[in-house]
Chains A and B, each alone.
Chain A
C-alpha cells in the first residue's frame, strides 16, 4: 500500500483504545457519583457525566470494547460459516448447491433485527448470545458471494491445472481458489462488522444488552429520557457508533481496491 489509509489507522486506533481501556480511561465507567448530568468541559469530566454521575468519556472508552468484540467476533463467525457454506455450494454445484442456497434464502427473508430482539428477549441478555445470534443471521450474504465467485472460478484453467497436478480438491479450494476472492469476502466481512455493531447498539438501546458492561447502545438507551436536557448523553455514543461503522465500511472498500490484482 502506497499510503496508510485513514480507515485502517482509525480501526487500529479503535482497537488500541479497546485493549488499553483500563489504562486510558479516566476512571471506572460504572462508578456513579453525585455529580450527575454535568455538561462536557466540566472539571474532571471532559465529556460530562450521565444521570447517575458516571463519567461519559470512561463509558465511551469501555463501550468500545463491547462494540468491537461483538462486531469482530460475530463477523468472524459469520465469515467462517458463510465461506464454508458458499464454497461447498459453489464447488459441488448440483443438489448441494440447491440445498445451501435455499437455506440461505430462508435466513435472508428473516428480519434480522426483530429476530435478534426476540431471541435475546427469550434467552436472556449476554454478550456471547448476542455474538452468536448476529453471526447466525449474517452468514447467508457471505455464502452467496462466495458461492457465485467459486462457481465462476471452478472452470478456470488454472484450477484445471491444479487438478491435473494432483492437488486434492479441498486444498484447491482453500489454496488456489479462496485467495482469489479474498477481496470481495473481506469487504463483506468489514461491512458485517459495521452491521453487527449497529445491531448490538440496537439491542442495547432496547435494554437487551449485557447489564454488566458499559456499551454504546446501553448509553443511548439511558439517554432517551434526557434528549432535551442532556444532549451529550446521546450525541457522544451516537457519534462513536456512526464513526466506527463508517470506518469499517471505508476499510472494506479500501481493502477491496488494494486486493484487486488488476489494480496494481
Chain B
C-alpha cells in the first residue's frame, strides 16, 4: 500500500516560534478515508492548510517536517509547481461553501473554471454535465447561481469542482458542519463513493465523531497541536486508549439514551501558553509524575505515559 499523501514530523509555527501544529505525521493511502478529529485550537485545520501551503496569515509557516504528495516533497517545488498540484493532485472542500463560490458565476462556470486554470478547455459542457452527475445534481444545475442553490447543493458543486481534475487526494475541512443532519448524510455518502470507486484518498477534518464513525477507515485525534492517538476507526471507537479520546467519546450525547452530560473540565490551552509535558495533563485524571514535565512520545498509536492505566477507562463516571 503506497501512500498518496505523507506528512512527516510537520510543525507549523508563528514567526516568533510559537508552534500551532507540532510533530504531526500522517499517511493516506489510495481509497482510504482518514479522519482528523479535534476541537477548536487542536491544529487540525492548520494541518490541512499546511498540506497545500495555504495559510490564513503570512506570519504562519512550516518550520519543520515534510509534506509529500505522490512521493514528491512539496518544499522542493517552485510556487508555480505547487499551485499546479493544488486542484490537479489535491482537491479541497471547506465548511462554508458559500464563501468559495463567486456569487456572479453559475455552478457550471465555477466547475469549468476549476478545469480551465489547469489548461483543460475542450468539451466543457460535456465535462461539466458528467461532474454534476457524479455529485447527484441534475444537468440543469449548471445554469444556477449560488443563491439559487441550497447549502447542500452548493457543497456538491464544490465537490464537483474539486474532483474535476481527478485528483488523487481530497481534503475535506468540516464539509458538513454547516449543513442540516438530513443533508449531511448525502454529502458524506458522496465522499465515501468517491473513495471506493475511484481510489481517492480522503482526509476528512471534523470535530464531529459521529461523522467520523460513519465515514472513516482510520482516525487521528489531535489535541493542542499534537496527535494524541491514531488507529483504525473501529478500534478507536470500541476501545479508545488516550484519556482525551475517551473523554471526547464520553462527551457525545446520544439522543437514544438518558444521560447526564459528561464534561472534561477546563479547555484547550491557547498556542502561546502550552503547558509543559503532556499538553493534556491539566485536564487529565491520570496525570502524575512525568506527565507534568516530559512530552509523551507517540508510539504504537498513542501518546500517553499511562496507557496501561487508561486501558480500563481514565474517567470514573457516576
In their complex, do chains A and B touch, with some C-beta pair under 8 Å? no
**B residues adjacent to A (C-beta < 8 A):** none
- A interface residues, Cβ below 8 angstroms from B: none
